Chain A
Amino acid sequence: MTASVRRESGLDRRSTVVVAALALVTSTLVVLSVGTGDYEMSPGEVLATLAGSGTKAQYLVVMGRLPRVLVAILVGAALALAGTIFQTITRNPLGSPDIIGFTTGSATGGIVTLLFFGAGPGVVSLGALAGGLLTALLVMALCAPHGLLSSRLVLLGIAVSAVLVGVNSYLLVKANLEAAAQAVGWLVGDLSGRDWSYFVPLAIVVAVFVPVVFANGRALRMLEMGDDTATGIGVDVPRVRLTLVVVAVALVAAATAATGPLPFIALAAPQLARRMTRLPGPNLAASALVGATLVVAADYLGQRLLESSLLPAGVVAAALGGVYLLWLLLRRRA
């Protein structure tokens, strides 16, 4: 059976297995993660507590740590879906939000709101959203006349990113120490101290936008075949493209607002999902789960890797993602 035929049969066995396996890995990491910290709990204790039969102390510990892993799962899924959308629309495996500057733009917006309005997570989300959208518009304008399909997209995105990194550093230099410290912590990409107040706005954004992504899943697959083909099949190409780009930017912005800019997740997750399922095109469910697994794993590794200190998930993601990108480049030499 060829991949396209497998794809059309709706439920492909291999990707079902992959999705199930990823869900299992993520759940395992969640249990391990919740059991990690000053107050150690065995996986059995965690599961018992989640089932409602733990002690009061255990219940408090689990409820304290649960939002952190839930935020990690949602952020990973949001970034991965945004990456899938961008890579499909740009028809470029490197056309992901973190490479072409949207993530940095969200970070700039977030810093501005942090520094000038001393804002909480909700307002920072709005700032990150505005920053991401403005950067997206700027990069697309620079790529005119081809916009997102331009072969220069990646180069220009990297260039715009560089400028924004400079702007971010400038803002941090000008800020007072306390605000700067808070912004620096946020810039690295970190999940420590993420409680329900972070989880709720993120969950709302994900609940609103993820169904839109899946509803447009078929149209997105058609887009991969080229605009003319998609139009011929009856897809309203400009409308679908605009809708999905807006949704993707919103997802990136919400994720960035929750944890700061986590690098490389949006780039790597869709591609890893494609390799695992061996299916062409956007594998939305598998990508989202790979993203969730990656972020939860990065956070868990950061907490566990070093005894003395806690590494932020962003640092782990940067190092791992960089290695992945290098491997990708080496493989594409042929």
Chain B
Amino acid sequence: MVQVTERVRSPRTSVSVRTLVLVGSLIALAAVVLLSIGFGSNRLSLGEVLHALFAYDGSYNDVVVRDDRLPRTVLGLLVGMALGLAGSLMQAITRNPVAEPGLLGINHGAAVAIVLGSAAFSVTSPGEYVWFAFAGALVGTALVSIIGGTRGATSPLRLVLAGVAIQAVFVGINQGMQMINTHNLQAMRFWLVGSLVNRNLDQLSVLLPFFVAGVVIAVVLARALNALALGEDTARGLGANPVLVRVAGMVAVGLLSAAATAACGPIAFVGLMIPHVVRSLIGQDERWVMLLSALLGPVLLLGCDVLGRLLGSPGEIQVGVMTDVVGGIAFVIVARRLKAVRR
């Protein structure tokens, strides 16, 4: 194990550590899923949860689990996975530790498009507005890419500022539209906070293609991103086309962010923190970073959701608020650890 700590910075971490982290992630995921199902206004024991999942007989607890807690948990799994993956993709493409769809305003781009859609075309279901979300997310990604720059290792500060500016414009537009159109303000206001409540699983099926497409592109790109980490010329020598990889990667980020935002509103920081944690554990191999980010994203998201139910009882605190607080604190730690920041 001593050797491992010495080699942790290299792209090739020993297999045993990866396996350990993988197993640990799976255990954490299982635990947080059980917590998410068992925890709420009426608390269920582990036995009751397992009974509802594997021996459903229509008792009150079983119904609560199946109609309320289970959809919420499945949603958290999917969205957490999408956000974790999108974050690790963005960090790999920009080679920038602060890249993340929430912080860089991409989720808010999707949100603006959705609010626009509901105001102008009165779309109401995630299945309908996921297309708006995708368009908005792509506009956001394009803006961040153009302004923050994606070539080579960009300045973290510049990227974050681009994100802050884009977010300000989007949020301003959103608030303006809500002022004009009050009849859907109520629904939209709650949705804009980012929450896992009251989502319908039928509507989720419409979002699945977006998730799947995003994941597939990410999987295909993983090796090329490893090559890109060695620099442009080396990547070309290894047969990867840097421009194509970046564009395809950003499209995948757009797909994943759009699906996540359409499902439960703009949620920040999940995609920022998780890849960091993963990298510090297993090193730089993008294939593993992506896999583990996809597994640990839901752990963080569902964990924050459970925490929000705990702190907010008898009500709850929306998960978007929890991730803001937890993630902001983590961002402070990341920012303090960065080497000299270029202005």
Contacts and interface: CB of A to CB of B under 8 A. Distances in A.
Interface in A142-195: 142, 151-152, 154-156, 158-167, 169-170, 173-174, 188
A322 B176 CA distance: 14
Chain A interface category by residue count: 35 or more
A272 B342 CA distance: 24
B331 A312 contact: no
B164 A152 contact: no
Query: Interface of chain A, helix or strand or loop or mixed?
Result: helix
B332 A159 contact: yes
A326 B165 contact: yes
Chain B interface category by residue count: 35 or more
Nearest to A171: B321
B168 A315 contact: no
B175 A318 contact: yes
B332 A142 contact: yes
A263 B169 CA distance: 11
Interface in B169-193: 169-173, 175-176, 179-180, 182, 193
Nearest to A167: B325
A188 B332 contact: no
B321 A151 contact: no
Contacts of A329: 147-148, 158, 161-162, 165
Interface stretch (A75-83, A208-216, A243-251, A303-311): A303-311
A217 interface: no
Contacts, number: 134
A323 interface: yes
The winner among A142, A319, A333 for most chain B CB atoms within 10 A is A319
B169 A326 contact: yes
Interface stretch (B40-48, B276-284, B286-294, B310-318): B310-318
Given A311-B176, A312-B179, A163 B338 contact: no
A316 interface: yes
A333 B328 contact: no
B225 to A, nearest CB: 25
Contact of A99 (B162, B164, B315, B340): B164
Contacts of B180: 306, 308-309
Nearest to A155: B335
Contacts of B161: 94, 99, 154, 325, 329
Contacts of A264: 168
6 smallest beta-carbon distances between A and B, as pairs: A166-B324, A163-B328, A319-B172, A322-B168, A322-B169, A318-B172
Given A158-B331, A162-B268, A317-B172, 5 more contacts: A155-B335, A162-B327, A163-B332, A170-B325, A322-B167
Interface of A: 92, 94, 99, 142, 151-152, 154-156, 158-167, 169-170, 173-174, 188, 263-264, 306, 308-312, 315-319, 321-323, 325-326, 329-330, 333
Interface of B: 98, 103, 143, 147-149, 156-158, 160-162, 164-173, 175-176, 179-180, 182, 193, 268-269, 312, 315, 317-318, 320-325, 327-329, 331-332, 335-336, 338, 340-343
